[in-house]
Amino acid sequence: MMRDLPLAFPGMKVGLFGGSFDPAHEGHAHVAETALKRLGLDKVWWLVSPQNPLKPKSSPFEQRVASARGQAHGRKMEVTDIEQRLGCAFTYQTLRALKRLYPGVEFFLVMGADNLANFRKWRNWREVAKSVPVVVVSRPGTSPADRLCAPKDWIFLNARFNRQSSTALRKPKRAAVAKPRRK
Ligand SMILES: Nc1ncnc2c1ncn2[C@@H]1O[C@H](COP(=O)(O)OP(=O)(O)OP(=O)(O)O)[C@@H](O)[C@H]1O
Ligand SMILES: O=C(O)c1ccc[n+]([C@@H]2O[C@H](COP(=O)([O-])O)[C@@H](O)[C@H]2O)c1
């Protein structure tokens, strides 16, 4: 048995909130807290992805774990490196492994609505869509058409919009790139 895995017991409801967290921000906390409260979850596990297979190379893993820890507040939030330790590159692998390791625990997959647009590009997406309830939290900029493509049994949580994004935070500040003025 692997040591230091997150703790969960049969009957518990656990949200699985996967992300690159490159870096983590307040929008992530908003998604995790919305799912926690609205679904009455016992815990939300922030699964730091070793590398999103559909994105360019992320910042170092430990840096992103630390960043997620800085945003996950409260005893019901747990940031975990479990995907890295189990060697899971794709979400279907994570779900298979967690269901095997935690029999009787009720898992929910939590994501922001922007993931609707590329969900069908995920490896074995049909298996992912069937294996656990999928919970989608609203995000600005998402097209209503994307929502129409989602399976009917998915849970949509309309929450206040949060405009934070890791892409925006990674962009160098204008001032930092501005050329010095000539005298
Ligand atoms: N502001 C937000 N509102 C709703 N969902 C969000 C928000 N920010 C991130 N998410 C969701 O959190 C999860 C992890 O997101 P991720 O770590 O990729 O952050 P991001 O801000 O989307 O990053 P990037 O800009 O690099 O794509 C995804 O399911 C994403 O949809
Ligand atoms: O399994 C896949 O093919 C797959 C493809 C793209 C994204 N994901 C997962 O989606 C979650 C959100 O990723 P990100 O980079 O948008 O934060 C994270 O848990 C990724 O591992 C999974």
Give Cβ neighbours of residue 153 (< 8 Å, ≥ 6 apart).
133
* Tens of pLDDT, residues 16-60: 999 999 999 999 999 999 999 999 999 999 999 999 999 999 999
User: Which ligand ends up closest to the CA of 118?
Assistant: 2
Nearest residue (by CA) to ligand 1, atom 22, is 165
pTM of the model: 0.94
Position 69 pLDDT exceeds 70: yes
Give me the interface pTM, i.e. the ipTM: 0.99
Task: Output Rg (C-alpha) for the chain, integer angstroms.
Answer: 17
pLDDT of residue 175: 45
Position 174 pLDDT exceeds 90: no
Burial of 151 (0-12, 13-18, 19+ CB in 10 A): exposed
Nearest residue (by CA) to ligand 1, atom 29, is 111
Amino acid in position 183: K
* Tens of pLDDT, residues 83-103: 999 999 999 999 999 999 999
Let me know: does 163 contact 143? Beta carbons within 8 Å. Answer: no
Mean pLDDT of 117-133: 96
Instruction: For residue 68, name the pLDDT band (cuts at 50, 70, 90).
Output: very high
Q: Residues of the chain with pLDDT > 70: what percent?
A: 93
Q: Is the CB of 50 under 6 A from ligand 1?
A: no
User: Which ligand ends up closest to the CA of 96?
Assistant: 2
pLDDT of residue 181: 56
Token digits of residue 107: 């898992």
Position 177 pLDDT exceeds 60: no
Token digits of residue 22: 């490159």
The domain limits of the chain are 11-58
18 Cα nearest atom in ligand 2: 19
pLDDT of residue 180: 58
Mean pLDDT of 122-137: 97
Cα-to-centroid distance, 183 and ligand 1 (Å): 43
